[in-house]
Amino acid sequence: MTVATTSSRPISVTPTVGGTSPIPATMRALHKHHAGAELKLDAARKVPAPGPRDVLIKVKKAGICGTDRHIWEWDAWAASRIPVGITIGHEFVGHIVALGSAVTRYRVGQRVSAEGHISPGTGFNARTGAAHIADGMVILGVDRDGCFAEYVCIPEENVWPVHESIPDHIAAVLDPLGNAVHTVMEAGVSAQNVLITGVGIIGLMAVTVAKAAGAARIFVTDVDPKRLALARQLGAVEAYDARDSKWIEHLRKQTHNGPDVLLEMAGAPAAIDAGFQALRPGGTAALLGIPSKPFAFDLTNHVIFKGARVLGINGRKMFQTWYQMEALLLSGRLQLDPIITHQIPMENFAEGFRLMQSGEGIKVVMDVG
């Protein structure tokens, strides 16, 4: 597999960091150095050169996500999808240090994040408001070099200016927050009883987003006591151990024969099956969790006879979800600090992955530069 690289064409300005120091020729970058577990920090990776419509960003903070963990562990998905040699990472905040010759929307020094799904801008979906599911999508840190580096190159169309009121550690995790916002807003949770199956990073974010979006009551399931307790702290009225066979019965008694909305965040077959069992007839299910492989599913009883409305959620809408995220953050109604449990130097990346694997950490953010 070929790693997508940025253009070697000249940039339009003399590249500087903060308008004073020249951009170095090399940088620190965390990359997949072999077809196996773990990653390697390269202290002399070449700084990418932006093409005419690209923006070069000096990364300040970057978030470690579940996709990065898959790449670290080199599971079957990663082995089939990730090119060896790629710099990984797709969640970040930083400052623009150089602009391509055709860039018109941004300026050097501006604080930005970015949408990591890079659409070619052609084809039916890309041209009709569904660029997040367009053909030819390239993903930052998966198909092309990502942001676990001191510098990252992003197409102008994917850059997102960060509001001055949003702190860096929050701006570094807009990507997963966008997954939660997209799921919640598509399902329509206002004045509804909501069940969230799986309260990992995005599931926990969905709790605070659903509360801010006007959910009547929020119920969650998981098998991790620490995360169930945090979900309660964020606004869930009930936090069920998914291994308890009686939780569905209890939930039905608390509602009109089940929740109005299911937000499926786990991707585990048992969680998906139980979520649909719990969902009331005529309810809405929004599915973001990704199963590791195909599995048997009772379509007849869970969807057809139940009259369920089922929504598949992928990424973030470009850029409706980003405007919704910004509005929710500026409202002050989101609680994200309890979810971001660790901030560490990028040099301690191995500890960051260990914290995620052990469950000690929930969201880990690295200080890059």
Residue 1 in this model has a pLDDT that exceeds 50: no
Question: What pLDDT sits at residue 269?
Answer: 97
The answer to whether 259 touches 279, Cβ cutoff 8 Å, is yes
% the chain with pLDDT above 70? 94
pLDDT of residue 10: 37
Predicted confidence band of residue 4 (pLDDT cuts 50, 70, 90): very low
Q: Is the pTM of this model over 0.85?
A: yes
SS3 per-residue string spanning 261-277: EEEECCCCHHHHHHHHH
Structure tokens at 205: 């974010």
Domain 16-173+336-367: give its CATH architecture: Alpha-Beta Complex (3.90)
Q: Give the residue carrying structure tokens 């003399």.
A: 14
**CA gap 117, 315 in Å, rounded:** 8
- What pLDDT is recorded for position 66? 93
Which residues are known to be catalytic? 67, 70
Six token digits for residue 220: 């969650």
Choice among 19-23, 120-124, 148-152, 336-340 with the minimum mean pLDDT: 19-23
- Give the mean pLDDT of 355-362: 96
The pLDDT of residue 254: 96
Question: Which two three-digit tokens encode residue 228?
Answer: 């169930």
Tokens standing for residue 184: 């919640």
Output the pLDDT for position 22.
Answer: 87
pLDDT reported for residue 16: 47
Label residue 191 exposed, middle or buried (CB < 10 Å: 0-12, 13-18, 19+): exposed
Which CA distances in Å does 179 have to 68, 113, 116, 155, 321? 16, 15, 12, 21, 9
- Would you say residue 298 has pLDDT above 90? yes
DSSP string, 99-143: E-TT--S--TT-EEEE-SEE--S-SHHHHTT-GGG-TT-EEBTTT
Q: Mean of the pLDDT values across residues 275-296? A: 96
SS3 state at 285: strand
Specify whether the backbone of 136 is left (phi greater than 0), alpha (psi in -120 to 50) or beta: left
- Residue 6 is predicted with a pLDDT of 45
The model's pLDDT over 62-116, given as tens digits with 9 standing for 90+, comes to 999 999 999 999 999 999 999 999 999 999 999 999 999 999 999 999 999 999 9
Q: What is the mean pLDDT of residues 26-41?
A: 98
Q: Are 327 and 302 spatial neighbours (Cβ–Cβ below 8 Å)?
A: no
| Residue 28 clears pLDDT 50, i.e. is over it | yes
Q: What CA–CA distance (Å, rounded) separates 229 from 232?
A: 5
Average pLDDT, the chain: 94
Residues 273-291 have a mean pLDDT of 97
Q: What is the DSSP letter of 195?
A: E
Nearest to 25 by CA among 35, 15, 33: 15
Region of poorest pLDDT, from 30-34, 60-64, 118-122: 118-122
Tell me: the pLDDT tens digits for 130-139?
999 999 999 9
In the prediction, which pLDDT does 154 show? 98
Rounded mean pLDDT, 43-64: 97
* pLDDT-based confidence at residue 225 (cuts at 50, 70, 90): very high
Task: Find the mean pLDDT for residues 273-292.
Answer: 97
Task: State residue 11's pLDDT score.
Answer: 40
Domain boundaries in the chain? 16-173+336-367, 180-312
Averaged over 290-301, what is the pLDDT? Answer: 95
Which of the listed CATH numbers 3.40.1620.10, 3.40.50.970, 3.40.50.720, 3.30.428.10 matches domain 180-312? 3.40.50.720
